Structure 1
Amino acid sequence: MRFMNIAAALVMMGAVAACASGGSSYAKPGFYTHVHDGRLWVLKSGDKEIDLVSKNQEPKVVVTRIGEGPNGMTIKSNDGKVIEDYLKAK
């Protein structure tokens, strides 16, 4: 049992380390992506709130879709349409 807990912790640490690299593995043209606390933030490129999100601060409006992002991640944005467009984008 303890071995499984340690193995699960190591897997999570690896996932968090990969996410800490700026979310580049989630990058798609036309979108800004940022991973914080295991959640994927997605904004349209050029959005005025990118500066806030890049500093791990939340905009006034936050739309959250639990488990709907890549690999079952929670995905957050300042606009639900941005999330939909991101998920449809290649």
Structure 2
Amino acid sequence: MKSTLVIQNLKCGGCANTITTKISSLEYITDVEVDVETSSVSFTFQNANELQKVKEKLAHLGYPIDGDKNSVVSKAISYVSCATGKMSN
């Protein structure tokens, strides 16, 4: 199945790089694409359990799903994730 999630705190290519790398490393998740302009991430998954794992991983990286709580801590974590993504380019 294919899903597209709108996420918060997505700012640049560094963020996109981190998200792509971390989400692609999850088992049974393929075809990960991040669109900075629409603040969205698209991917293919096999079942609802994997979809939930992606949502949890995004929140852990500081990119909660649009509509979920976006705390100051989430925003700070996203800056670290962004910097990590920029350094690994």
TM-score (norm 2): 0.31
TM-score (norm 1): 0.30
**Relative to total residues, which structure has the larger helix share, 1 or 2?**
2
Q: Which structure has the larger Rg over C-alpha atoms?
A: 1
